[in-house]
Amino acid sequence: MALFGPLVPAGPLIVLVLAGSLDALDAWEPPDGPVAVAGSAAAFRGLEGALDEARTHVTSDPLWWYPASSRTEVESLADQIPEPAWWLLLEGSPLHARSLWRHSKLAERWRHAPGPVVALGSSGSVLGEVMIDPRGGAPTTGVGLYRDRVVTPILAEPLRDRTLTLLGTGTRLEELLPDSLLLLEVSE
């Protein structure tokens, strides 16, 4: 497994956990208490199937399910969801997730959450200040929860070369492999 960052962050940090897959997430020990599962990114691949898949790996109890698939639903949920011990953002369409989460009340809740925010696969790439548009490899704006690197699912070689050229030499690109587990601080 590829593991980046300390397993136990020094100091009282809000942590983002970016997992390449549910299997990679098995290596992480979640806090005790309820988990709020946001299915927004999974809207196009099937919300209920994504939840069933998550349940095979997530043993936290209770598991609160929030399948918001529109911006209106996301904004409404931000006001209604009680504070969970941690958040789980399911894998799915990064561009759909960005359209729902960027500049949302829900993203602000994640920024100030007392517990970790865990994002699976491409959902984690959306949370950065910069994300990679999966349609052509160009950098674009993300949700803005972390800086200093761009995280993306594995890129095909021609697309990776284009992305590196567009990012320039000053930006760190990390490809999130299926067995990767990346721990980051939330940027203010």
- CATH number for 120: 3.40.50.880
23 vs 50, higher pLDDT: 23
**Which range among 19-28, 44-53, 84-93, 153-162 shows the weakest confidence by mean pLDDT?**
44-53
**Range of the structural domain that residue 21 is part of:** 3-185
> What total number of domains does the chain contain?
1
The yes-or-no verdict on residue 40 having pLDDT over 60 is yes
Cβ contacts of 80 within 8 Å, gap of 6 or more: none
Report the DSSP pairing between strands 181-185 and 15-19.
antiparallel
- In whole angstroms, give the CA distance from residue 180 to residue 127: 16
Which range among 8-22, 38-52, 148-162 has the greatest average pLDDT? 148-162
The yes-or-no verdict on residue 2 having pLDDT over 50 is no
Element (H, E) at 89: strand 86-89
The yes-or-no verdict on residue 144 having pLDDT over 80 is yes
pLDDT tens digits, one per residue of 75-114: 988 888 899 999 999 888 899 899 999 999 999 999 998 9
49 vs 121, higher pLDDT: 121
Determine what percent of the chain is predicted with pLDDT higher than 70. Answer: 91
